[in-house]
A and B are shown apart, each in its own frame.
Chain A
Amino acid sequence: MPQTPDPSDRPHWSLSVAEASGRVATGELSPVDLLDSVLERIAEVDDRVHAYIHIAAAPAREAAARAASEIAAGRWRGPLHGLPFAVKDNYDVAGMPATAGSRLRLEHVPEHDAALVAGLKSAGAVLVGKLSTWEFGTGNGGEYFDLPFPPARNPWDLERFTGGSSTGAGAAVAAGMASFALGSDTTGSVRLPAAATGTVGMIATPGRLSTEGILPNCWSFDCPGAFAWTVEDCAIVMDGLLASAAATPPSGPSLRRAVGQPIAGLRIAVLDSPGPGFPAPDAPLRQGFDDALAVLERLGARLVRVRLPVPAAECLAATRMIGPAESAALHERELAEQADLMGYALRDKLMAGSLVRAVDYLAAQRLRRTVADRLDTLMRGFDALVTYGTLHQPPRLGVEPEMTAFTVETMLTPFNLSGHPALIQCTGFAGGLPLNWQVVGNRGDEASVLRVAAAYEAATPWRARRAQP
């Protein structure tokens, strides 16, 4: 198995959160030097990747210098102190543009930080800037090159799609332009970009993390999420978010403690089919999935095959009522008065949402309860569940049928409907592009998700390879 070179031999931008944090805490690495390395990396590659909409170099340098002083004075705040991060541009940051990728909000500058941003700042993390997003953090699955900012490109292949809607978050982390990033997920918008960019992307149990200060897209499903390079990094970030900015205060041990725990004897459900209505996963993804199952078996997990209680295509139909209808309700005035300023994808979604009958919306919300109850019953018999994330590899940017298929034909929406925590991780590469699968946990049990994903990651070589855009 290829080994990751010693951290001291690698540029600072390539350090994981865990590696950088350990060195920052001991004074071996200055937050100022870490930030400089990340800013240099951005300058080197982001004119090709377009992950960032706004780079806040000066305030970031001030924050990094402050962190360095505090740590030197013995006031280390915790593992995120001095670590550079970025957020999707639908998060509010005081004094910084929050365009949500839209012409409608080019002049919008919030006065307050989103709750999660405030929490990370209080943990000493250093905000580098705002990241690309589909307009308003939503869309119809495609990219139309008609927004005020160029679409982010996949660092593994610049002609490929990053997945949306947190388009810049996965790209930034994959390319080493932030130690970690925050995005938001309505029906896959954290997990799709994580899948496309080979990063770890996780949503917690809905309600655990505050959505305050994030532009709403769909009240029923909106859920913040974290992007990181490794599972341990994701656990550290989730711990930071839960400790300082949780909608519900955390209880129990830190999530990082789950990383490294053995999985022998854990009961893991294996969901290997989306059911009728969707195509089979692409062959490389099937191979990656089967190989990953073999790894879990070698590690001693007890695997049990299960079936999705409601086919993924039916779950998609429900989200296609709920998502557009709620977006249309949220942005009703903008559609009526400013449709001309919108890009095609947002306008299309809001017009579709305006056509949804209340009867069908409520049918979808009734089905949601069925899906949630049945999946919860299934999950309670297991410690975790593994399944596909996307059914396709990252498609060509600009080829609409491929992009929309990548976006909608997934195993992601059932868990938005059911409200279970879920994580995407890389399961290898094919044709130079990342493969992925999804690990799901019982409600409130993010620790088991991270435990299983970390065990898999530690047994495989995929983190030794970095994108070089």
Chain B
Amino acid sequence: MMKRDGSPARGELESTLAAATEVLTAIASGRFDVRAPRLGDGSAADTLAFLVNATAEEVEHLVSEVEREHKQLERAHEHLLQSAKLAALGHLAGGIAHELNQPLTVIQMVTDLLREQGDAKIADRRADLDLVHGAARDMARIVGSVRMFARPSAFELVRTPPLVPLEDALLLVGEDLKQLGIAIMRHIAGDLPCVSGDPERLKQVFVNLLTNARDALRDTPDATRREISIALHGADGCAEYAIADNGSGVAPQHAERIFDPFFTTKPVGQGTGLGLSVALGIVRDHGGELRHEQVPGGGARFVVRIPVAGAEVEP
């Protein structure tokens, strides 16, 4: 160490040492924002303070970098887990659907044939037969949605005007929404470029999201204005759709699980718990993104991003 101006400034050196110790102690206990005061005179004490501060800054930077990467890794891991879960489930679901189709065909065929018979005894039990037949139809519907989930990967990405699948979905569920007195607010940007998509599957995504919004609004008091807002605009190489309702929203304790297959909060018999996971699978097949956001003041918003045709898909 160099001495300046003859006698060492012992008091300054000691207080800088104390400050440096404080900085290093803070780092050791996980705090990186403590700094040693600088004299700014280029003395040995000042150099020490500079070096300690520089070290603290570097450590702070490295730690935040590591934290950021850790978070990224965690997200990638979750993403991977979710994909693996979806794939395994798809496989299982396909097998079960196939096996269930046999007995379901038998039940539907037999009840159909019995109902057609003119036998008086059978006519007496017509209501029971109708129940069995209806139950078989419900099961077929569930199997159908499971199959959608397990559908093999034969899907085709074509240039699709982004509004088309959304309009098609509205065509399917629009009547239902009208019956429940649900108002649809549209915020659609004009002149959007085509997305790279499978129109049928994208339609399925919006049918599922709109159906969920409808079910969320079904239970709101009649006096409330029921509203679904549909937005579409361009955002960094993607078409960004947002479908929001003013229902009661997703309970915080459910938010993490809503994309899990078979997770549902709907009454028994009303939901298969596959709508959102099917939608997520389809959106991911498009290299897109599907996320849920809470709407301030209640309600849920789902944001779908689908890459524009020809645009680079970020890894």
Do A and B bind?
no
Which A positions have Cβ atoms within 8 angstroms of B?
Answer: none
